[in-house]
Amino acid sequence: MTARPRVSDDQRRARLARRHLLSPGHRAASVEDVADALVGLHATDAATVYLSACARLAEPSHTEVERALYEDVTLVKLLSMRRTIFAVSSGLAPYVSSSTAHAIAVRERAQFVRFLQQGTEGGWDERRLARTEREVLDALAARGEATTAELAKDVPALRETIAVSVGKPYESRQSVGSRLLRLLASDGHVRRGRPRGSWTSSLYPWAPAPRIPEIDVREAKAELAGRWLGSFGPATEADLKWWTGWTLGDTRRALADAGAVEVELAGGATGHALPDDLDDVPPAGPWAALLPGLDPTPMGWRGRDWYLSPDLVPALFDRAGNVGPTVWWDGRVVGGWAQRANGRIVWRPLADVGREAASAIAAEAARLAEWVGDVRVTPRFRTPLERELVR
């Protein structure tokens, strides 16, 4: 029996530096290149797409991200992996949609129908929902783009409310409009337009979305698994299952269809890699990075010990498992950062980093502050260290 190729943690970090565009010599020229390098950019928090992209752009600029999102529409936001919103390139969007987003949209619709039937008093059923959706799309086509509140002027049904968490201490009511527009977005009918306000704003209008071609589900999953291995591999079966939210059976089938081969990771764990990714890659040289909360790099694997000491997790993650802003040095997380009310970028090491690292990290903090300018960024999910740093 031929021994499995061995891939050390140092080799995994060398790949990360190059493929995640974090070493200064490997930064990208366009935000589309960044999105493809990472398979997708987390977009649950409006600011994350900008901060993640600009950390990896040779010339960081929020206008470059806005061009791709709202002018050229070469970045598409999809409710997809792990029921999280990702911004993916238009070329990858059909594979993400068919492999992951479509199934989530089906579940979202079924859940929404139950909410409407149980939580409203307006006699909602699937026929009324379909009629209201057509009215919304017609109104949006006439307006070009509009917020949910603006559309509610044309479609009064959007103003009705739904009872949520009935009988619980946190029972509340949500508007039909907010849920229905999100449903239309998950179905691929509408997209988020340019925010009303700065690039950190979550107040955005809706606009008609370009049609995303459908692809055979198995083919799409194989393609997505291969893309992920090319960016995040070698990695474990559990890593891919966690990142996608697929079942174990779907994960194993996608790895086999992608042609993945087994490798041995540090500690004897079984990993998977693309067959042309077994040779060592040269180190990228020491590098520093300040990555935002929910950045796709720290959120890319379930097993993180090779780049993140377990001792640092309580300070850098919230209770739901969302990562906050992180400081990196040469392939490892070494601390966290935040922006104070006066605009100053501050960071704190959680490990001994040395003089060279401190100087490089300070330079990255200055680079971040320069392009962020007067904008203030507060992560959607606050973590213990980030809260401490802004005091």
**Widest distance between CA atoms in the chain:** 70
Tens digit of pLDDT for each residue in 369-386? 999 999 999 999 999 999
Sheet with 41-42, edge to edge strand ranges: 41-42, 85-89, 75-79
Residue type, 222: A
pLDDT range class, residue 338, cuts 50, 70, 90? very high
Unique residue bearing structure tokens 């997708």: 40
Unique residue bearing structure tokens 């995040």: 232
Strand partners, 208: 190
Contact indicator for 357, 291 with CB cutoff of 8 Å = no
What is the pTM for the complete model shown?
0.94
- Whole-angstrom Cα distance, residue 101 to residue 78? 7
What's the topology of domain 93-208?
A: Arc Repressor Mutant, subunit A (1.10.10)
Structural domain spans, the chain: 93-208, 288-389
Q: What are phi and psi of 283, to 5 degrees?
A: -60, 150
**Residue 120 has what pLDDT?**
61
User: What mean pLDDT do residues 271-277 have?
Assistant: 97
